[in-house]
């Protein structure tokens, strides 16, 4: 079995999809290496194991797969569900999540465990919406961990890389449903964007800047703005913006049919905040992805440094993206303070990409860049551990919940070695 991108052949000897908590417990107490597997969107071997892969998408614990508490607005979901599916159910009940990633096809547990994110100056990563989670340890014990009842360790259990247990349910904060419009501006001069970076990224609920780094302009800026009482407008962060007259795909030349609606047409937030539609497959996985997260205060200098690498990066790049993410307090989240993400969607040329990554990481190191857990990067595990001040506490927590280290495979085995 392979990951979605097709660049990783999993070493697991089998895959199980338990249909009950009892079945899951029976499998876990058997012994041997085991790892949770989500929608297989990691581009490295983070989710790999030499033992058994477990998917919980068919798990029935006696509760609705999407269980909304109308009093608190908290929704409890099966951890194997996809974000787009959860959002559709919430919308039918007048609720919404505050943020979504570019793809609504990601499993909730997998996205949360890796601190996957969308964009927006005030929007935290998807993990930032978690208020509680349930996981089953390798001893077959089901545990519910909440911010209120477990304040000492809650922040260490959310972005967990899957090494604390098999997550079965996740509880997320929601807000009243809201409408969003999406407008795409083309060819924004880099100098103007960097001179007014805060104005540009703050001009809409969510903003994404697309570039190949060797271009004199930002090729496309996607502005996702909240629509209030049926009204909305195009952002005016920069004068004389040139608005796209036709649908635009993040990758030049690709059919935009899989993209969410543009041209200012209002729609439910879950049909605009992601770049791609749930009912379409945005690609067949013939790509690689990298991303580096760094403090927002270094945004302009980091972007300028990356532009200096344009001639090296662009020949291997399908597209690049600049996004902003608000801070959280989660131990292994790369967003200890307000941050930006520099995202790279590569051509599927792994050996050449591998040669470029060390140069990118060396260039971004002075700005405190951390790699996205689920994407390809070159950084040594020792250096990655050092970037997280509470990593030693996380290791203690992992040792306590999984004393035999059965949940450690692939990259996390090297990280925790």
Specify the pLDDT at position 277: 95
How far is C-alpha 263 from the chain's CA centre?
26
Specify the pLDDT at position 395: 97
Strands (E) across 177-269 are located at 179-189, 206-211, 217-227, 242-243, 267-268
Specify the pLDDT at position 286: 85
Specify the pLDDT at position 416: 96
Specify the pLDDT at position 285: 67
Q: Output the six-digit token pair for 350.
A: 């792994």
Specify the pLDDT at position 236: 87
Distance CA 408, CA 396 (A): 14
Is residue 204 within 8 A of residue 224, CB to CB? The reply is yes
In the structure, how many helices (H) and strands (E) does the chain have?
Answer: 12, 19
Q: For the chain (length 417 residues), average pLDDT per consecutive 10?
A: 90 96 96 95 95 97 97 98 98 98 96 98 98 98 97 98 98 98 97 97 97 96 90 84 96 94 96 94 80 98 98 97 98 98 97 98 98 97 97 98 96 96
Specify the pLDDT at position 280: 83
Q: What is the end-to-end Cα distance of the chain in Å, rounded?
A: 25
What are the contacts of 381-386 at 24+ separation with CB within 8 A? Answer: 381/411, 381/414, 381/415, 381/417, 384/415, 385/415
Angle of the 350-364 helix axis to the 299-307 helix axis, nearest 10? 140
Strands 217-227 and 179-189: antiparallel
| CATH numbers and ranges of domains, the chain | 180-266+286-371 (3.30.70.2520)
Going from the C-alpha of 6 to that of each of 101, 251, 373, the distances in angstroms are 21, 19, 18
């Amino acid at each position: 079995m392979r990951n979605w991108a097709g660049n990783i052949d999993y070493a697991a000897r089998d895959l199980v999809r338990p249909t009950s908590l009892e079945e899951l417990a029976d499998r876990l107490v058997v012994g041997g290496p085991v790892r949770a597997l989500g929608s297989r969107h990691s581009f490295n071997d983070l989710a790999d194991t030499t033992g058994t892969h477990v998917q919980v998408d068919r798990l029935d614990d006696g509760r609705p797969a999407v269980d909304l508490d109308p009093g608190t607005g908290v929704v409890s979901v099966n951890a194997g569900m996809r974000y787009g599916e959860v959002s559709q159910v919430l919308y039918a009940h007048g609720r919404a999540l505050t943020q979504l990633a570019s793809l609504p096809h990601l499993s909730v547990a997998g996205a949360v465990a890796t601190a996957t994110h969308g964009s927006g100056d005030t929007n935290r990563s998807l993990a930032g919406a978690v208020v509680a989670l349930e996981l089953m340890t390798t001893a077959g014990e089901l545990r519910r961990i909440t911010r209120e009842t477990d304040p000492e360790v809650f922040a260490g259990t959310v972005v967990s890389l899957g090494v604390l247990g098999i997550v079965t349910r996740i509880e997320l904060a929601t807000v009243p449903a809201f409408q969003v419009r999406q407008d795409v501006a083309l060819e924004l001069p880099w100098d103007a964007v960097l001179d007014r970076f805060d104005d540009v990224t703050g001009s809409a609920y969510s903003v994404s800047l697309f570039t190949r780094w060797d271009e004199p302009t930002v090729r496309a800026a996607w502005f996702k703005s909240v629509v209030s009482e049926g009204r909305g407008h195009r952002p005016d962060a920069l004068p004389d913006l040139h608005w796209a007259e036709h649908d635009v795909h993040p990758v030049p030349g690709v059919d935009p049919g899989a993209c969410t609606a543009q041209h200012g047409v209002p729609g439910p937030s879950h049909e605009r905040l992601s770049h791609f539609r749930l009912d379409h497959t945005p690609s067949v996985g013939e790509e690689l992805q990298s991303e580096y997260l760094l403090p927002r205060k270094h945004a302009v200098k980091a972007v300028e440094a990356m532009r200096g690498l344009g001639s090296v990066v662009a020949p291997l790049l399908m597209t690049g993206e600049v996004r902003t993410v608000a801070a959280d307090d989660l131990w292994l989240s790369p967003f200890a303070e307000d941050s930006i993400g520099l995202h790279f969607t590569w051509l599927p040329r792994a050996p050449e990409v591998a040669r470029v990554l060390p140069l990118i990481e060396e260039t971004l190191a002075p700005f405190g860049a951390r790699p996205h857990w689920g994407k390809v990067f070159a950084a040594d595990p020792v250096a990655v551990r050092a970037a997280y001040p509470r990593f030693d506490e996380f290791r203690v927590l992992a040792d306590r919940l999984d004393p035999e280290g059965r949940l450690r495979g692939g990259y996390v085995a090297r990280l925790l070695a």
